[in-house]
Structures are given as C-alpha cells and as structure tokens.
Amino acid sequence: MGMIGFYAGSFDPFTNGHLAIAKKASKCFDKVIIGIGYNKDKTERISKTKMKQAIEQVIKDESLNNVQVVLYQGLTVDKAKECNASILIRGLRNGTDYEYEENISAINEKIAGIDTCYFRAGDLGYLSSSIVMEVFNNGKPIDKFVPKPVEILLNSL
C-alpha cells in the first residue's frame, strides 16, 4: 500500500499554491489524498462537489496519477485514518501560517498520533483563496492564480 499522505484544506477555491504543494507531495509519497474539508467556521464560497470535480480535472491535466480527491466533514484525522493515510500534509507560506499550523498539528498528533509534514510555498506564498476571490469578485482575471479547470468553474458561477 505504501505511504499515503492526506492533504486537507478548504480549497475554496483550489489555487496554484495548493497545486504546487500537491505536486511536491505526490513526489514524496506513494499516494496523496486531497481532502476537501467542510469547515463550519468558514462560509462556503464555491460548491464542494464542483470544486472536487475541478481538482480532479487538474490532477488529470497535470498527470498526477497517484493523487485522489475526497470530500469530508468532521475531524481531518478521522478521515485521514479512514483513508489509511499515515501523515498529514500542509503548506507553509510564512510565519503566521507556521504558528497556526503548529497548533493544529500538535492537537492532531495528540488526539490521533498522526504527524504533519509541511511543504514550503516558495514563490507562490503570496497566494490565498481569499485573495483570489477578492480579485475575481472585482472583475479582474484570475488565470495566473488558479489552474484552468478552477478558472472555468469560477467563471461559470
């Protein structure tokens, strides 16, 4: 079965920054599962089912053959375990991300004994889903910030 990594997020929408992390992870693990989480503290901007389909198209376009997408509610660690993942994957853009992620990772390790692997955002560290939506909602092109299937989805809304 090999080493399975679980990359959780809201992906609302999935950006080129998320894609960069998924690509890095796909090289390091036998299998990567992108988990689109339903987070009750965040209002959903885009349908999760449609975002799942768009991400699946991105994976096809990029030939990321060991990457899969799932939707989940509840605790990330529960879904990760259900998927037989042995590690969580997150991306780090800056120190603020690190502090936020560290707390979540520590809790996850304590409650489920599952560790987190961080990948660096590198030169896409300026990108966030909310910034992309801000640009999009103000009528500016977003083709530089999101993969094509996500751009198509947003333009269809």
Rounded Cα distance between 18 and 9, Å, is: 9
Shortest distance, CB of residue 122 to ligand ADP, whole angstroms?
8
Closer Cβ to ligand ADP, 1 or 114, answer by number: 114
Q: How far is the CB of 60 from ligand ADP (least distance, A)?
A: 21
Torsion over CA: 125, 129, 134, 136 (sign): positive
In whole angstroms, the minimum distance from the beta carbon of 23 to ligand ADP comes to 11
* Of 1 and 100, CB closest to ligand ADP: 100
Residue 130's Cα: distance from chain center in Å? 14
Which CB sits closer to ligand ADP, 63 or 99?
Answer: 99
Q: Are strands 115-120 and 67-73 parallel, antiparallel or unpaired?
A: unpaired
Per-residue tokens: 39: 């987070």
Which stretches of the chain bind ligand ADP, using CB under 6 A? Answer: 9-11, 15, 17-18, 20-21, 39, 90-91, 93, 97, 101, 121, 124-125, 127-129
Nearer to ligand ADP, 26 or 129 (CB): 129
Mention every residue, 6+ apart, whose C-beta is less than 8 A from residue 133: 13, 45
Q: How far apart are CA 119 and CA 59, in angstroms?
A: 18
* Minimum distance, C-beta of residue 11 to ligand ADP, in the bound complex (Å): 5
